[in-house]
């Protein structure tokens, strides 16, 4: 169907490359612009692109309460009630099957953080200790620092389930986005809580012994945490922006450093120290024993 405003005199001109169309196309495609910053129109398009993507959602209207089961209120009282309902969801039959993704969404606390998941309820109630900690900086892509430390952090009390052998927890802290607490229980790895910062959502999935949690914000930024037990070690990989960090823990939650995971006989950690004590030096040209 042709509408009256579909055809303008300009449209009668033959199609030809248009500089600004190319700019828009390249902006949408994420490619770098070939225009100088002084080009004001190009500058506006680039800034509009960023500004429009920064627009956050409005407060949900009351009519949406019928659908949105979790309150986004910051009232503490509402938070506790919400967390209890979330706990029920997290441990429903689907979660136990370990196959279907568990959606983690909002339940705000007075502290401004959103606590979701069963352990979040325990975190409200009291404290316990995580033995392994991963700090991952997601907010600034120029920062590529991750630390693994044998710190003791108050995270959550353990679920009091008779017969469960709780050995230790691993806290994966994704700065700016949230955190994940992992636990090895009866030889199986699972996440016991996911904490989400304002402006982020998280999708958690457990599949064939692998746990992964994807943090996403309204701008589409994504940080992915994956964890799996390999060779009696918990391998935790955190990936976001240009940063990719891998850490290892024992099943009791203790951090393990300098793991060469690929069985290729080469010490990979490039720290100048031959870790394997096998009489063969690192591949940096300096052997530890000749």
Partner 1 sequence: MDRHAGIVDGVEDAFEAVLLRAARGDGLAFEHIFHCYAGRIRAFALARGAQDADAITNDVMLRVFQNLGLFEGNEQAFVRWIFTVTRNRLIDAHRAEQRRPIVADTEVPERHERSAESVAFDRVSIDDVAQRLGQLTVDQREVIALRLIHDLSLKDVAEIVDRPITAVKALQRRGLRSLQRRILDEGVS
Contacts with partner 1 by CB under 8 A lie at 3, 5-8, 10-11, 18, 20-21, 23-24, 27-30, 37-38, 40-41, 43-45, 47-61, 63-64, 67-70, 72, 86, 89, 100-101, 103-106, 201, 203, 205, 207, 212, 214, 216, 218, 222, 224, 226, 237, 239
CB of 155 to partner 1, least distance (A): 22
Other Cβ atoms closer than 10 A to 137: 23
CB of 167 to partner 1, least distance (A): 25
CB of 15 to partner 1, least distance (A): 8
Strand order in the sheet with 178-185: 114-116, 188-196, 178-185, 166-175, 132-137, 146-149
- The answer to whether 156 touches 119, Cβ cutoff 8 Å, is yes
CB of 130 to partner 1, least distance (A): 24
Q: How far is the first Cα of the chain from the last one, in angstroms, to the nearest whole number?
A: 82
Question: In terms of CB distance, is 27 or 158 closer to partner 1?
Answer: 27
Question: In terms of CB distance, is 97 or 161 closer to partner 1?
Answer: 97
Strands 222-230 and 129-130 turn out to be: unpaired
CB of 74 to partner 1, least distance (A): 15
Question: In terms of CB distance, is 168 or 240 closer to partner 1?
Answer: 240
CB of 247 to partner 1, least distance (A): 14
CB of 173 to partner 1, least distance (A): 19
Cα dist from 210 to 13, 268, 283, whole Å: 58, 24, 32
- The answer to whether 116 touches 104, Cβ cutoff 8 Å, is yes
Q: What string of H, E and C letters represents the secondary structure of 178-207?
A: EEEEEEEECCEEEEEEEEECCCEEEEEEEE
Q: Which residues of 231-246 are buried (b: 16+ CB within 10 A; e: fewer)?
A: eebbbbbbbbbebebe
Question: In terms of CB distance, is 130 or 215 closer to partner 1?
Answer: 215
Question: In terms of CB distance, is 131 or 201 closer to partner 1?
Answer: 201
Question: In terms of CB distance, is 179 or 235 closer to partner 1?
Answer: 235
Other Cβ atoms closer than 10 A to 131: 19
Question: In terms of CB distance, is 130 or 202 closer to partner 1?
Answer: 202
Q: How far apart are CA 128 and CA 140, in angstroms?
A: 30
DSSP string, 46-97: HHHHHHHHHPPPPPPPGGGGGT--S-----HHHHHHHHHHHHHHHTSHHHHH
Q: What are phi and psi of 226, to 5 degrees?
A: -125, 145
CB of 248 to partner 1, least distance (A): 15
Question: In terms of CB distance, is 71 or 131 closer to partner 1?
Answer: 71
């Amino acid at each position: 169907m042709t509408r009256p405003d579909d055809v303008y005199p300009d449209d009668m001109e033959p199609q030809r490359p248009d500089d600004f169309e190319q700019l828009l196309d390249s902006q949408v495609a994420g490619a770098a612009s070939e225009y100088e910053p002084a080009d004001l129109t190009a500058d506006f398009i680039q800034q509009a692109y960023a500004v429009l993507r920064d627009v956050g959602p409005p407060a949900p209207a009351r009519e949406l309460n019928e659908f949105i089961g979790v309150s986004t209120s910051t009232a503490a009282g509402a938070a506790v009630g919400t967390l209890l309902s979330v706990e029920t969801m997290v441990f429903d039959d689907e979660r136990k099957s370990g196959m279907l993704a568990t959606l983690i969404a909002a339940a705000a606390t007075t502290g401004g953080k959103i606590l979701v998941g069963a352990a979040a309820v325990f975190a409200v109630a009291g404290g316990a200790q995580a033995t392994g900690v991963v700090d991952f900086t997601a907010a600034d892509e120029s920062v590529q620092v991750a630390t693994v430390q044998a710190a003791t952090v108050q995270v959550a009390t353990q679920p009091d389930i008779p017969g469960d052998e709780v050995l230790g927890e691993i806290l994966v802290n994704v700065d700016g986005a949230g955190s994940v607490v992992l636990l090895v229980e009866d030889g199986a790895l699972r996440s016991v809580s996911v904490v989400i910062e304002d402006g982020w959502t998280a999708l958690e999935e457990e599949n064939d012994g692998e746990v992964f949690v994807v943090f996403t914000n309204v701008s589409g930024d994504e940080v992915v945490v994956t964890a799996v037990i390999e060779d009696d070690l918990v391998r935790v990989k955190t990936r976001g922006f240009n940063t990719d960090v891998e850490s290892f823990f024992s099943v009791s939650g203790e951090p393990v450093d300098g793991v060469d995971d690929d069985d290729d006989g080469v010490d990979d950690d490039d720290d100048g120290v031959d870790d394997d004590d096998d009489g063969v030096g690192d591949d940096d040209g300096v052997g530890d024993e000749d």
